[in-house]
Amino acid sequence: MVGAYDIALVTVDTLRYDVAAEEAAAGRTPNVVRALPGGRWEARHTPASFTYAAHHAFFAGFLPTPVTPGRHERLFAARFPGSETTADGTWVFDAPDLVTGLGQAGYHTLCLGGVGFFNRRSPLGSVLPELFAEDHWRPEFGVTEPDSLRHQLDQLAASAAAVPADRPLFTFLNVSALHQPNRHYLPGAAEDGRDSHAAALRYVDTALPRLFALLTSRRRPCFVVLCADHGTAYGEDGHQGHRVGHDVVWTVPYAEFTLTPGEW
């Protein structure tokens, strides 16, 4: 797959597994259901409880882990002596991170930032985007913009079109819409909550056909990992937000699938 396919990692920042599964089962996110294998999200455990740490792990090859016990083979892994989750089906790279490894394999690497850890407005906000050959962030990509994903996809359209057709593309997209504040997705809501979180997911779902069409607009198949980096709490056991060890934070929705040109 590596080299022959484009690859995309799409993280829906802060999306809870329970909300994602309920919305899918109720038919309120039809586009994501169409893409999901078997029409259902897989429950996995994230390696970290907030965006910065989770993405560092993702880019090192430690994607969310299946919740079932066992030794789970990884898709991507840095060459590391003694690794017990690197197997025959793992793509192993000789670099400290997946982005650099794919770049060494000939990929153009593209980062479309969302939350503040990708905004380059501070040294900390520059660490993750610095891994990429091309990165973009603007205020309209961020958490306070109700139509953030549309703006991010406008940039994806321009960036993907500029990559030579014979060069594979790795796209990383951090979708900021679910992250607090999300009350603006629920008319009349005075504060963020589980219902506005779900409403934000429904907004994201409306943009997925365009996203998937853009990921295959270069007439190449695209392997997609779609997941959350962590969840968030809305009062469960007294917790608000994330960066805490609660199940609603650690359990995230996950899917991987291949898109073919013209499918969307």
pLDDT of residue 80: 83
Measured CA to CA, the distance from residue 32 to residue 206 in angstroms comes to 9
153, 154, 157, 163 alpha-carbon torsion, rounded to 10°? -100
Nearest to 253 by CA among 34, 59, 31, 13: 13
Say if residue 186 is exposed, middle or buried (CB neighbours under 10 Å; 0-12, 13-18, 19+). middle
Number of Cβ atoms within 10 Å of the Cβ of 83: 14
- Supply the pLDDT for residue 5: 97
Higher confidence at residue 7 or residue 236?
A: 7
Task: State residue 64's pLDDT score.
Answer: 97
CA atoms of 200 and 182, how far apart (whole Å): 6
Mean pLDDT within 7-32? 98
Residues 178-194 pLDDT 10s: 999 999 999 999 999 99
As a whole-number percent, the residues of the chain with pLDDT over 70 amount to 100
User: How many Å from the N-terminal Cα to the C-terminal Cα in the chain?
Assistant: 21
Mean pLDDT of the 63-85 span: 87
pTM: 0.95
